[in-house]
Amino acid sequence: MPKVDALESLLDTSDKMQGKLDDLAKEVKQKGEELTRIQAKLDESSKQLNDMTVECGKLKIIVEKDKELKDALSSQLADLKKKLADLDDEAKTLKKSVLLKDEAISTKDKQIIDKDHIISTKDDDNKKLNVQITDLTSKVAAFQDQILALQKENEQVKLKEEKMKAQMLEVTEKYDKAKSKIRDSGDSALGATMELEKFKTQLQQKETQVTELSGRLGSILTGGSGVLTDKEKLIEVFKAMVHKTQRSIRFCVPSITLLESLGLLAVIKAFPRTAVVQCAGDIKATDEHIIMDLKQKGVIFTQYDLKDRWVINRDGEDVIIALEKADGHIIGFYSNEPRFVSVLNSVVMEPWVKGIKI
């Protein structure tokens, strides 16, 4: 019986132990499930940690880039501050320059106003001058008619002079024959002497007439004033006036090329440095070397299209006014008489009034 009791006791103990085992198994199962949940949470936490580590790396890279950008921006900001300071200095300098320019512009405006007044005055003077030129042009036309008349008279005088010379030669021959007759015949000495005296009287009369004609011809062609009907004579007088230039000269020729062909380039270059030289005439493209050469000397050129004009005013002391016809004939006048120079100077100015300054 004791064995039975022990066995029952052992069974009871076994049941209790089984119950405890079941409880423990159940608890282990619960712990396992809880551990699984914890492991899952741990895995999730690990994953989140990895994600955070990656994100932290990215942020670190961004921070480094931000730092580099910040350094670059700081450097740029420093450069900008320096440039701003430089610009501020430039602005101050520019402001001073603008103020100075404003003052200069104000001065220039005043000068322009003064020049406008001068130009206005000059315009009035030019109008008066144009009126004078028109008046003088009509006088020149009348003067040209007088020159033509003088030219015809000159030709007639030349013919008379030639005729008188021929008559004089004839009288001389008769005189020589009379002297021969006196030598050959002593019987008719008285008659021959009377004939000789007659021839001598005629000879003296012819000589007087020739002298008068020569004097009259000389008064037309020579002296301080004179008529010009021959181109060679015109060029001779023209070149002589150019050579005598000391202070100023204003001249017009049909073509600027003539300065070279007449040998005047070296003469003009030899003028005194203070001499004022103004030249007008027809300027061709082939005359460029003449223009460039004389401009270095300070010569002022004016394009004047009319190719018939020879004019000159030398030092305000000599003047020439001449027209060259299409056939080459010359009609002109020259003078060193102060009153003529003063009167004709307005006509001399026509090429510069109507021409174009180069």
For the stretch 37-46, pLDDT in tens is 888 887 787 7
Indicate the burial class of 11 (C-beta count within 10 angstroms; 0-12, 13-18, 19 or more).
exposed
Q: Specify the DSSP class assigned to residue 287.
A: G
Residue 173 amino acid letter? E
For the stretch 127-151, pLDDT in tens is 665 565 556 555 555 655 665 666 5
In a domain, 36, yes or no: no
Indicate if 235 and 299 belong to the same structural domain. Answer: yes
What pLDDT score does 179 carry?
61
Question: Do 229 and 151 form a contact (C-beta atoms < 8 A)?
Answer: yes
Indicate if 283 and 197 belong to the same structural domain. Answer: no
Query: HSE of 31 in the Cβ direction (CA atoms, 13 Å)?
Result: 6
User: Picking from 76-85, 104-113, 274-283, 324-333, which range would have the lowest pLDDT averaged per residue?
Assistant: 104-113
Indicate if 282 and 348 belong to the same structural domain. Answer: yes
Please compute the mean of the pLDDT values over residues 174-199 and round it to a whole number.
57
- Average pLDDT over all residues of the chain: 77
Please compute the mean of the pLDDT values over residues 29-51 and round it to a whole number.
80
Flag whether pLDDT at 186 surpasses 80.
no
Indicate if 213 and 285 belong to the same structural domain. Answer: no
Flag whether pLDDT at 280 surpasses 60.
yes
Indicate if 200 and 237 belong to the same structural domain. Answer: no
What pLDDT score does 189 carry?
47
In a domain, 110, yes or no: no
Please compute the mean of the pLDDT values over residues 171-193 and round it to a whole number.
58
In a domain, 62, yes or no: no
Please compute the mean of the pLDDT values over residues 313-323 and round it to a whole number.
93
Nearest to 229 by CA among 333, 344, 337, 348: 333
* End-to-end CA, the chain: 161
Indicate if 229 and 206 belong to the same structural domain. Answer: no
Indicate if 271 and 288 belong to the same structural domain. Answer: yes
In a domain, 90, yes or no: no
Flag whether pLDDT at 352 surpasses 60.
yes
What is the total count of domains within the chain? 2
Indicate if 230 and 314 belong to the same structural domain. Answer: yes
Residue 219 amino acid letter? S
Indicate if 203 and 172 belong to the same structural domain. Answer: yes
What pLDDT score does 216 carry?
46
Indicate if 239 and 265 belong to the same structural domain. Answer: yes
In a domain, 176, yes or no: yes
Last residue of a domain, one of 193, 221, 249: 221
Q: What is the CATH number of the domain that holds 189?
A: 1.10.287
In a domain, 105, yes or no: no
Residue 161 — very low, low, confident or very high, per pLDDT cuts 50/70/90?
low
For 140, the token pair is 């020149």
Please compute the mean of the pLDDT values over residues 308-334 and round it to a whole number.
91
Q: What is the CATH number of the domain that holds 289?
A: 3.30.870.10
| Distance of alpha carbon 353 from alpha carbon 335, whole angstroms | 22
SS percent in the chain: helix, strand, coil, step 5: 75, 10, 15
Flag whether pLDDT at 218 surpasses 50.
no
- Considering only residues 67 and 172, tell me which one the structure prediction assigns the higher pLDDT: 67
What pLDDT score does 220 carry?
41
What pLDDT score does 116 carry?
65
- Considering only residues 36 and 262, tell me which one the structure prediction assigns the higher pLDDT: 262
User: Picking from 79-93, 173-187, 229-243, 339-353, which range would have the lowest pLDDT averaged per residue?
Assistant: 173-187
In a domain, 297, yes or no: yes
What pLDDT score does 59 carry?
76
Residue 358 — very low, low, confident or very high, per pLDDT cuts 50/70/90?
confident
Indicate if 217 and 231 belong to the same structural domain. Answer: no
Last residue of a domain, one of 168, 197, 221: 221
Supply φ then ψ for residue 285, to 5 degrees.
-60, -30
Last residue of a domain, one of 165, 196, 221: 221
- Structural domain span for residue 151: 144-221
Residue 274 — very low, low, confident or very high, per pLDDT cuts 50/70/90?
very high
Flag whether pLDDT at 297 surpasses 60.
yes
What pLDDT score does 320 carry?
94
Indicate if 353 and 267 belong to the same structural domain. Answer: yes
In a domain, 75, yes or no: no
What pLDDT score does 286 carry?
94
User: Picking from 77-86, 101-110, 303-312, which range would have the lowest pLDDT averaged per residue?
Assistant: 101-110
